[in-house]
Structure formats: C-alpha cells, structure tokens
Amino acid sequence: MELQHINVKLYLERPEAVKLEAVVPVFHEWIQQQVCEELLIDVADYRHLHGGPGVVLVGHQADYSIDNTDNRLGVRYNRKADYGESNRDRFSQALHAALRACQRLESEAQLGGMIRFNRRDLRLFVNDRMLASIGSSRNGEVQRELGGFFASVLGGEANFEMRVESDPRRLFGVEVRALAPIDVNGLISTLA
C-alpha cells in the first residue's frame, strides 16, 4: 500500500518552558531566508487554541510547526506533496525533515535552548484517511513496515517500543519510544 503525506512529531523536553510567541519571529525569518527545502509561505499563529496546532510555518510541499495537539508539544513535520518511490523513502524523508527542523530550532539563538527534542518520543502518522485508516485490514502490513523502518534506523527492534493508534476517528499512526536517548546527529546521518 502506498502511503503519502507522512507526518512526524518529535516531542519536546520541558514543554512547560516553551514560550510559543518566541517561535513566531523565528519562523518569519525562516521564510525570509527560505531555509528549508520546501517553499515556505506564511506563519499561522494558533497559540490561543487549547491542544491546537500551535504555531505553524505553512509551506507549499510541507508545513512545519510547534504543535500542541493532544496537549503534547512537539516539532511537527506535515508532508503535503507527494514524495518518493517507496513508503520507506517517505518515512525517512519525513523523519529527516522533522529532525533537521528540530536541530535548527535547538540551535536558534533567539530561542535560548527552550526547544529541545526529548530524544525518546516521537509519533509518525499518515495525514490521509483514505490511504491509511485505523481499523483497515491492511494495517498489519503497514505496522510491519513501520516496525522494520524504526528497527533499521534505531539500531534494532530491542531499542524501541511502538504503539499503534487505536481511536478509529484519529489519523493512523504509531507512537515510538526509544529505550535509549536518540543521537539526533547520528540519526540524521543515517537518514540522509
């Protein structure tokens, strides 16, 4: 089954310390300098929403955000345009883009280190209910594919736990918890 529109969300360490208003000018600068591979268009500020999208850097091929869905703050990459030849390509690309964005935010002087991936928890999901939905008979195959992917990039099956989303109304995806801190630079190199 071909999956597209892969999303990756990297959960943050000390989310209570994050001041989302500080992210707004950073994202505006990213547009000014077009720092990502995707065309960056605008910033949508949803700080006023409880458990919402947070601050979104809207792009053409993808959006980046500091997302607060489920009241869990994370750096999210939302791939909107088609990508790649295989699902593995797409998982890799989305995870790589999310990690790169996170790395960039972690090193932004303006943010003073307030944004930091916790190195353990992430969510990968498919933002398209037609291509992947919870309860579909094809999910077993996708889960195996995702399990294989994370095993290969996190150094083996023993290094992480994976939980499959079960609420049928939510987007299909998995929560992954690394059992040891992820080496972000190393993982970015692996995925590149």
Could you list the residues that contact another protein (CB under 8 A)?
2, 4-5, 24-25, 28, 31-32, 39, 41-42, 44-53, 56, 58, 60, 63, 67, 69-70, 80-82, 127-131, 169, 171
3-state secondary structure (DSSP) of residue 26: helix
Give the span between the Cα atoms of 91 and 106, in whole angstroms: 22
Residue with tokens 């150094």: 155
Angle formed by the axes of helices 87-106 and 184-191, nearest 10°: 140
| Closest CB 116 distance from another protein, rounded Å | 23
| Closest CB 66 distance from another protein, rounded Å | 12
Nearer to another protein, 47 or 119 (CB): 47
Nearer to another protein, 13 or 128 (CB): 128
| Closest CB 151 distance from another protein, rounded Å | 27
Give the span between the Cα atoms of 19 and 114, in whole angstroms: 8
Give the span between the Cα atoms of 189 and 56, in whole angstroms: 26
Nearer to another protein, 72 or 119 (CB): 72
| Closest CB 102 distance from another protein, rounded Å | 19
Nearer to another protein, 72 or 120 (CB): 72
Give the span between the Cα atoms of 7 and 82, in whole angstroms: 12
Nearer to another protein, 32 or 166 (CB): 32
| Closest CB 82 distance from another protein, rounded Å | 6
Give the span between the Cα atoms of 46 and 56, in whole angstroms: 8
Give the span between the Cα atoms of 118 and 140, in whole angstroms: 29
